[in-house]
Structure 1
Amino acid sequence: MICSTCFRHCQLQEGQIGFCRARQNKGGKIICANYGYVTSMAIDPIEKKPLALFHPGSTLLSIGSYGCNLDCPFCQNFQISRMAKSSDANFVSPEKIRDMALQAKQTQSNLIGVAYTYNEMLCSWEYVRDCAQLIHKAHLLNVLVTNGTASLDVLDEILPYIDAMNIDLKSLNAQTYASILHGDLNQTMAFIEKAIPACHVEITTLVVPGMNDSESEIDALTHWISQQDPNIPYHLTRYFPRYQMDTPATNISTLYRLKEIAQTHLHHVFVGNV
């Protein structure tokens, strides 16, 4: 069976799990093997997603599972993104997520909904869809944090229920995506283009020294974003050594220099993790 969730199109034998560690061939069907298994949950400020211009000052019930369809050597959440199912993951039904969000709102009046975050939650897009439908029926909002490499068919499934997204655009260099991230730049660009008219979109670039921190890289990347909409909020985020990469953290002065370049194309540019 071929999994059509993302650009990888993993060919899976019976019982085999895909690259993402979240999808499996079971009984002749590709299923979401991590459906409902939550590894991380917290009440987060919306600015942590990061979303700067979508209900600022509010909070979200943030949930994450395990698995990711990329393998970035600098992954900041590798403990869950690169793990397989373990005893650390607890099953939480979509109905329970709704109830927990409503309960949290009783004590935090600024809570506006649920964020699907921490790992690549579109590897379990069915769970996101099912939770998000219930959250909307409860008159709350849905926020998705994603690497933007899911198929456009998957995007179609969730878009009616997603109110805001933060999408990673890690580089505008196809070779960087292919050789370092094991990803697909064209898929990410197509995902962003389709998401922009449908919901509030903000874009983040984790600035990694020696990979995407050149002035020419950020100039080209933010120029492309401006061609979609110059009002899209853009976040330049500081990298710290994690997972397989021990390169020193991004120089703060580099981030602010790149911010000046980004502002020649975009109206709303933010620096994070400084």
Structure 2
Amino acid sequence: MAEVRTLAEVLDALTRPGELYERLPDGSVRCYACGHRCLIRPGRRGICQVRFNRDGTLYVPWGYVAALQVDPTEKKPFFHILPGSYTLTFGMLGCDLHCSYCQNWLTSQALRDPAAGVMPEEVTPQQLVALAKRYGAQLVGSSYNEPLITSEWAVAIFKEAVAQGLRCIYVSNGNLTREVLAYLRPYLVGYKIDLKSMRDKNYRALGMPLKNVLEGIRMVYESGLWLEVVTLVVPGFNDSDEELREAAEFLASISPDIPWHVTAFHPDYKMTDRDWTPARTLIRAAEIGKAAGLRYVYAGNLPGRVGPFENTYCPNCDALLIARHGFRILFDHLSGRGTCYRCGTPIPGIWQ
């Protein structure tokens, strides 16, 4: 009779010694893959549950995916990177947060919640990049769980992808460190960060202090990576005018050219006590973003119901540059040129 292994046993076998940590004299390790900077003693795990200390060496996830598909790049969402392109998107298991409304909880909350977890599929970086090329993807992205905690594996894939002429992106909660950003930076062109709230109390309920994500947004912008920021607008959690204005003003203070996506919540995981975010709330949030000085504000997850806030306009002459319906490009006057066709204003992003 075949031996039945638990998910933890399977995952612990799919590991190898990591790179994003330091050894301490007593056999403990200090991990710096994410902003928690976990002190992990021998035989113990980090907050993410998937990085663990075995005899003074930090072991990290390796050699598998738990989610894999080819998505429109707009779904990440990146609206200013190669419109109409596709991204081969892979995810592993585990997360450094425990959001009660997580839409990817089956992968993110593995080993933390007994109801979560899917069996991993073993794969090599070469196989993943070959898949990307077979399906015509121009980018490779890490998403679905929190990619920071599996950064060593991501970099192995990204090295192969870049060698094959593909570009790479991260879809993350932004709880990063300078060390992990320096480790990832040579392989990435874009980084998406969730700004979930402007209230420290809210963030601590999810699993980290607000300052970590604010610093993360600053660090990514200063690194020169293309940055887009998403706020999932959750009724009764972060949808007040005051909080939305604070988020928009914070982003505008870094750069008015950072695209801000305000997207609709739907009931999921442990937060089923409230309704979908109405379109009027997203339109209000987008208008607040524009009033705060942001030049590119988008409303997502409600295709065709948010007026002009799916499209890209010239901030100088208001010409319609890219028209969208959900993740579908209706027309594109920007790719290949990167400037407004009417007045010549440069539009920041990756258009070629």
- TM class by shorter-chain length? over 0.9
Residues 1:73 and 2:104 are matched in the alignment? no
Provide the aligned C-alpha RMSD in A: 1.5
Further displaced range: 95-104 or 225-234: 95-104
Q: Which residue of 2 aligns with 1:108?
A: none
Q: 1:259 aligns with which of 269, 276, 286?
A: 286
Structure ID, larger Rg: 2
Q: CA deviation at 1:238?
A: 0.6
Question: Structure 2: which 5+ runs fail to align?
Answer: 1-27, 303-352
Correspondences of 1:1-274 after superposition (within 5 Å): 1=28, 2-32=30-60, 34-84=61-111, 88-105=119-136, 111-178=137-204, 180-197=205-222, 198-246=224-272, 247-264=274-291, 265-274=293-302
TM-score when normalising by structure 1:
0.93
Runs of 4+ in 1 over 4 A off after TM superposition: none
* CA apart distance, 1:116: 0.7
Following superposition, the deviation at residue 86 of structure 1 comes to 6.0
Residues 232 and 266, structure 1, Cα contact 8 Å, conserved in 2? yes
Q: Any idea what SS the aligned residue of 1:217 has?
A: helix
Single out whichever of 88-97 and 210-219 deviates more from structure 2.
88-97
Q: Distance in 1 between matches of 2:167 and 2:39?
A: 35
Measure the CA separation in 2 of the matches of 1:37 and 1:185: 31
1 CA distance for matches of 2:53 and 2:135? 36
Corresponding residue pairs, total: 267
Query: Cα 1:116–1:214, aligned 2, differ >3 Å: closer, same or farther?
Result: same
* Partner residue in 1 for 2:22: none
Secondary structure of the structure 2 residue equivalent to 1:72: coil
Cα distance in 2 for partners of 1:244, 1:54 equals 33
Paired AA for residue 96 in structure 1? Q
Give the TM-score, by structure 2 length. 0.73
State whether residues 23 and 31 of structure 1, in contact with CA within 8 Å, keep that contact through their aligned partners in structure 2: yes
The answer (yes or no) to whether the contact 1:149–1:184 under 8 Å persists in 2 is: no
Distance, in Å, in 1 between the alignment partners of 2:118 and 2:210 is: 34
CA contact (8 A) 1:159 1:195 kept: no
Distance 1:9 1:199, change over 3 A: closer
- Give the secondary-structure state (helix, strand or coil) at the position aligned to 2:39: coil
